[in-house]
């Protein structure tokens, strides 16, 4: 069997997805509960699929959301999302949600997420903005260890991009660990 050109990095011990180059891949199957009466995935369920993939990305990067909330009173919250539906997923389809870090700011991140069938057929695309907030809902700066944890998936961001932040530039120079 031929080896893929880019090797996947296994997930964290309890993560289900995997890091593949600059993206996180999360596999799932469409069950009856995900569909409408016609066996087509109900549109709102893509939000759940994307949320699972984002949570698993954090797990794979070693960011423990439960500990972050318990110990620091901090949590990630979606502050914006744009969706583009291209093709429907159907009952028993096997899907992969691919997540790429688009930008990492002081208190927020922008992620591109794509639901794929067969690893290549684009079904739904989302651009998601999430912020780190405290228990009162106020934005909080990403702690250095969290910013540093994103280094494996931030490696391919262009340093000339208008969306690159000071944190990403710091990671490129090898600081922030």
Total length of the chain:
177
Joined tokens for residue 108? 């927020």
Q: Which of 20, 27, 36, 93 is catalytic?
A: 36
* Helix, strand or coil, per DSSP, at residue 32: helix
Active site residue 36: yes
Contact, 91 vs 30, CB < 8 A? yes
Q: What whole-number distance in Å separates Cα of residue 156 and Cα of residue 101?
A: 9
Q: Return the number of other C-beta atoms located less than 10 Å from residue 52's C-beta.
A: 15
Q: Which element (helix H / strand E) includes 28?
A: strand 23-29
Please, are residues 38 and 14 in contact by the beta-carbon 8 Å criterion? no
**34: phi then psi, degrees, rounded to nearest 5:** -85, -10
Give the separation between CA 120 and CA 96, rounded to whole angstroms: 9
Terminal alpha carbon distance of the chain: 38
Residues with catalytic function: 36
């Amino acid at each position: 069997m031929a080896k893929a050109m880019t090797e996947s990095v296994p997930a964290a011990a309890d993560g289900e997805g995997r890091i593949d180059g600059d993206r996180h891949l999360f596999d799932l199957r469409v069950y009856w509960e995900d569909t409408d009466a016609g066996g087509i995935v109900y549109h709102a369920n893509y939000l759940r699929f994307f949320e699972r993939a984002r949570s698993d990305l954090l797990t794979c990067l070693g960011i423990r959301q439960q500990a972050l909330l318990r110990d620091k009173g901090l949590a990630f919250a979606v502050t914006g999302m744009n969706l583009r539906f291209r093709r429907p997923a159907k009952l028993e389809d096997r899907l992969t949600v691919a997540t790429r870090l688009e930008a990492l700011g002081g208190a927020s991140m922008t992620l591109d997420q794509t639901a794929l069938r067969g690893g290549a057929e684009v079904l739904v695309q989302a651009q998601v903005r999430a912020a780190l907030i405290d228990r009162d809902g106020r934005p909080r700066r990403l702690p250095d260890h969290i910013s540093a944890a994103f280094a494996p998936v931030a490696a391919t961001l262009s340093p000339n991009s208008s969306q690159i932040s000071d944190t990403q530039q710091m990671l490129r120079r090898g600081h922030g660990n």
